[in-house]
Structure formats: C-alpha cells, structure tokens
C-alpha cells in the first residue's frame, strides 16, 4: 500500500511515524527544501500544481492525502481523476474558504456567529453598522493561526480593510466565549466515525499555546459529535475532520472553523490515546477499521513556538513526549510540542505551568 501526502510538514512527519513499522509506504510532495517529513521519507520537491509530479503521485499511490489544507483544491481534483483522494477536493475547497465553511455550518444547523461577506469598503461599512458588538475582519483564504485577521475595535475601518488585503473578506461578530474546544473525529470509508473526547484549547495571539484533554461534558460531547456527523455526511468526508468551537453559556457550541486534516489540538493522542489521530487518519484512508478510542488519563500538549528550549534536559523530567519537528527557529513558528500526562487534572495543570516556564 502506497500513500501520497501533499505537504511535508510536521503533520506529514507524524502520519509517517504512526505507520513506520507497518506495511505502508509514503511518498511526500512539498515545494520546500528539507521539510520535516524528509527526516523519515524521501520528499519530492515540487509545486503543488506541478502536473508532472501529480501524475507521478497518482500513478504510484493507492491513495493521496494532505498535511496542509491550502494545497490548491484544483490539484486534488486533478488527482481525483486518477486515484483516490481523501479528504475529497470539494471538502478541502470548502474548508479553505471561511465564507463557504460558515455557509455550510448554517446549512447543516451548526451554530455560527453572525457574519457578513465583504467585497468592498461599502460592504464593510454597512456590516459594521449592523454588528453592534465588537467584530473581527478576516481574509476568507489562507487564514490560520490568527493570520490575515484584524480586530476592528483596534483599527479604523479603512485601515483594517487594507490590512486584510481589501478583497475576499468576511466580517465576524466577536464571540464572548468561556473557552475554546475542538472535536476530532475519524470517519472511515464506510461512514463509521470514531471520536476523540473534546479538547480544551488555549491560544496566545491567535496561535494554539496548549491543549488539555478530555474536556469532560457528556452533553457537549454528544452535541459536537452530532454536528461532526452532519457535516461529514454532507461532504462525504473520509479521514480526520476537526471542528473548532467557542463555548458560550457553558452549554452552547459556536463553530469557528474546520480543519480537513489532523490537527494541532490532537497531538496529545500520540502518547495519550490507544490510537493517535495520525494513525486513525491513515487507517481511514487505506480502509482499515479503527477500534474505539481509549484514554484513561488527562493529557496535555504544549506547543514550542518561535524558539526551541536552550536546555532540553531540563524539559525531560515529568513529560511523556518531546517532539522536535527539526524546523529553523522563526517568530511565531511551531517548532515542536511536548506531551504531559497525569491521572489527576490539577497535577497536569501544574506540570503544564512548569513546562511553560522552561520553554
Ligand atoms: P482562527 O484563525 O479563526 O482560528 O482564529 C484564531 C483565534 O482568534 C481563535 O482561536 C480565537 O481565539 C480568536 N477568534 C477568531 N474568531 C473569533 C470570533 N469570531 N470571536 C472571538 N474570538 C475569535
């Protein structure tokens, strides 16, 4: 069995690692030099829309997947004509565009914050006059980790419009949330889905700082799984799909966005669950069954951002996993992560606090 991956970042690296001793070969395509996955497998250096290499992948691979959601959906569509592609190009296209994504949430009965499509400055002025609360202007495309978005209360309307690129925008009412949660679900080719427990996510400057699992609330878990099921059915989805939610009033989930891939808030599953999200994704796309997810402890994941810790040995006591993606240090870049596990949630919180002081 050969699996092609478009994108050779840390997500591809961890997908490859999850199947390293099993009977699966990987071929990775990435436009950059020595991406993280090149530590384990040969990576083809090519653009995502290079038809010669897409043809090669299609010929060689039984199935192709992604580690990066912004690969051109037209490339996935091109591959789809020759081999299996999971998730399908249409799902990825929807998740790449905040407007399409939010429209789909609405269509599927998944609650979202008020939003407006913005194509020019007049659209923005009109929308701002309708949103009485604070609002956030976001680019519809290429937005992740808080990139390409401006909080309108901090800026003049014209300035925010220019900062966001002056086209293809969406204005969202700011949600006054208690916390942020994500649901990771792995849907097989038969349409069966296994879910991980809800994860609580803490962001800093729009970038995930640390996550804690499980967020224990049966009602919310059921609600989130139902939203996930409806969206997957609608998109005919295969693989891991992650939905990020805002929690309001302690009982209502407002969907923010979806990721059509394995997700940073699921990295704890490598050490903290019987099947990692990476293994679950690959199992789905190669049509292998997945048993139910089990975890009986509390797991935490702390991202290492911008700089690697100077003294690694200092980090190593009390932790369950240290993952270095082998990337060059750069401001706001995710360079690695640390997993912490404890049977007691308060102890886990203390461990997270301690490790955050070190890194
Ligand atoms: P995003 O790129 O949409 O995931 O946004 C990054 C982070 O910005 C989120 O995780 C939230 O912390 C915050 N954020 C984004 N959209 C909203 C919103 N409509 N209301 C409140 N906070 C938001």
In tens, the pLDDT along 291-349 reads 999 998 899 999 999 999 988 777 778 899 999 999 999 999 999 999 999 999 999 99
DSSP letters spanning 7-18: --SHHHHHHHHH
Task: Output the pTM of the full model.
Answer: 0.96
132 bridge partner residues: none
Domain of 15, CATH number, reads 3.40.50.20
Token pair 């490598």: residue: 270
User: What is Dmax (Cα atoms) for the chain?
Assistant: 58
Report, as an integer, the average pLDDT of 95-115.
98
* Residue 93 is assigned to a structural domain of this protein: no
Do 212 and 349 lie in one domain? The reply is yes
Does residue 117 contact residue 99 with C-beta atoms inside 8 Å?
Answer: yes
Task: Summarize the confidence of residues 58-71 as an average pLDDT.
Answer: 96
**Both tokens assigned to 17:** 């690692």
DSSP character at residue 251: T
Q: How many angstroms does the Cα of residue 164 sit away from the middle of ligand 1? A: 15
Task: Determine the atom of ligand 1 nearest the C-alpha atom of 177.
Answer: 21
Mutate to test the pocket of ligand 1, among 206, 209, 244 (most ligand atoms within 8 A of CB): 206
From the number of C-beta atoms within 10 Å of its C-beta (0-12, 13-18, 19+), residue 276 rates as buried
Q: Are residues 10 and 147 in the same domain?
A: no
Number of Cβ within a 10 Å radius of residue 135: 24
Together in a domain, 192 and 340: yes
Query: What atom in ligand 1 is closest to the CA of residue 173?
Result: 19
Q: Which residue has the tokens 């404890």?
A: 342
Residues 58 and 168 in one domain: no
CA distance 250 to 298: 21
Sign of the torsion formed by the C-alpha atoms of 39, 358, 198 and 182: negative
**Cβ density class 236-261: b for 16+ within 10 Å, e for less:** ebbbbbbbbbbbbeeeebbbbbbbbb
Residue 145 predicted with pLDDT over 70: no
For residue 94, tell me if it sits in a domain.
Answer: no
Report the nearest-CA residue for atom 1 of ligand 1. Answer: 146
Distance from residue 82's CA to the centre of ligand 1 (Å): 37
Question: Closest ligand 1 atom, CA of 144?
Answer: 2
Q: How many independent structural domains does the chain possess? A: 3
Q: Which residues contact 129 (CB under 8 A, 6 or more apart)?
A: none
Pocket of ligand 1 (CB under 6 A): 113, 136, 143-144, 146, 172, 174-175, 180, 203, 206, 256-257
pLDDT tier at 144 (50, 70, 90 boundaries)? low
Q: Are residues 310 and 211 in the same domain?
A: yes
Same domain, residue pair 199 and 266: yes
C-alpha closest to that of 353 among 202, 198, 146, 196: 202
Q: Determine, yes or no, domain membership for 239.
A: yes
pLDDT at 106 over 90: yes
The dihedral formed by the CA atoms of 228, 234, 239 and 244, expressed in degrees to the nearest 10: -40
Tell whether 282 and 346 lie within a shared domain. yes
The answer on 150 and 182 residing in a single domain is no
- pLDDT in the model for residue 261: 98
Kindly give the distance from the C-alpha atom of residue 205 to the centroid of ligand 1, in angstroms, as a whole number.
10
Question: Within this chain, do residues 339 and 265 fall inside the same structural domain, yes or no?
Answer: yes
> At which of 47, 65, 85 does a domain end?
85
Distance 325 CA to ligand 1 centre (A): 25
104 in a structural domain: no
pLDDT in tens, 162-175: 999 999 999 999 99
| Residue 182 belongs to domain spanning | 177-358
Please check whether residue 92 lies inside any domain of the structure. Answer: no
Residue 163 in domain? yes
Per-residue pLDDT, 75: 98
Q: Report yes or no on 187 lying in a domain.
A: yes
Partnered with residue 257 across adjacent β-strands are 244
Q: Give yes or no: residues 243 and 144 share one domain.
A: no
Examine residue 58 and state whether it is found in any structural domain, yes or no: yes
d(CA 293, CA 197): 9
Which CATH number does the domain housing residue 215 bear? Answer: 3.30.470.20
- Separation of 255 CA from ligand 1 center, angstroms? 10
Question: In 3D, which of 207, 180, 169, 179 has the Cα closest to residue 304?
Answer: 207
Share of the chain above pLDDT 90, in %: 87
Residue nearest (by alpha carbon) to ligand 1 atom 13: 206
Residue 136's CATH number: 3.30.1490.20
Start-to-end CA span in the chain (Å): 39
Tell me if 182 sits within 8 A of 245, measured CB to CB: yes
Among the candidates 173, 202, 222, a domain finishes at: 173
Q: Does residue 133 surpass a pLDDT of 80?
A: no
Task: Round the average pLDDT of the chain to a whole number and report it.
Answer: 95
Single out the residue of 185, 182, 176 nearest to residue 211, CA to CA: 182
Cα–ligand 1 centroid distance for 244 (angstroms): 10
Last residue of a domain, one of 138, 173, 208: 173
- Say whether both 216 and 324 belong to one domain: yes
Mapped onto helix, strand or coil, the DSSP state of residue 91 is helix
The preferred substitution site among 254, 256, 257, 259 for testing ligand 1, maximizing ligand atoms within 8 Å of CB, is 256
Q: Cα–Cα distance between 140 and 131 in angstroms, integer?
A: 18
Write out the two tokens for 249: 């009033």
* 246 CA to centre of ligand 1 in angstroms: 9
Asked if 254 and 303 sit in the same domain, the reply is yes
């Amino acid at each position: 069995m050969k699996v092609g991956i478009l994108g050779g970042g840390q997500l591809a690296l961890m997908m490859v690692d999850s199947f390293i001793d099993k009977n699966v070969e990987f071929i990775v395509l990435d436009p950059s030099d020595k991406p993280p996955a090149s530590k384990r497998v040969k990576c083809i250096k090519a653009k995502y829309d290079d038809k010669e290499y897409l043809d090669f992948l299609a010929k060689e691979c039984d199935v192709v997947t992604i580690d990066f959601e912004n690969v051109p959906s037209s490339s996935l569509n091109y591959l789809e004509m020759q081999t299996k592609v999971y998730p399908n190009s249409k799902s990825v296209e929807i998740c790449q565009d905040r407007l399409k994504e939010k429209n789909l949430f609405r269509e599927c009965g998944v609650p979202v914050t008020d939003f407006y499509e913005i194509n020019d400055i007049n659209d923005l002025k009109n929308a701002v006059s309708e949103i009485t609360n604070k609002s956030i202007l976001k680019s519809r495309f290429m937005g992740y980790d808080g990139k390409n978005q401006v909080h309108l209360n901090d800026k003049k309307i014209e300035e925010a419009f220019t900062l966001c690129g002056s086209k293809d925008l969406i204005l969202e009412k700011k949600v006054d949330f208690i916390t942020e949660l994500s649901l990771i679900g792995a849907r097989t080719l038969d349409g069966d889905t296994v879910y991980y427990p809800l994860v609580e996510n803490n962001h800093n400057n729009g970038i995930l700082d640390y996550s804690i699992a499980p967020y224990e609330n049966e009602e919310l878990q059921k609600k989130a799984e139902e939203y996930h099921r409806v969206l997957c059915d609608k998109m005919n989805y295969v693989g891991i799909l992650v939905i990020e939610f805002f929690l309001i009033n302690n009982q209502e989930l407002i969907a923010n966005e979806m990721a059509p891939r394995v997700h940073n808030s699921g990295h704890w599953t490598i050490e903290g669950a019987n099947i990692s999200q990476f293994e679950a994704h690959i199992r789905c796309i190669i049509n292998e069954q997945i048993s139910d997810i089990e975890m009986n402890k509390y797991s935490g994941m702390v991202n290492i951002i911008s700089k690697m810790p100077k003294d690694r040995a200092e980090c190593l006591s009390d932790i369950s996993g240290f993952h270095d993606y082998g990337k060059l240090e750069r401001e706001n870049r995710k360079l690695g992560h640390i997993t912490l596990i404890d049977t007691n949630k308060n102890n886990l919180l203390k461990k997270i606090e301690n490790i955050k002081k070190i890194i």
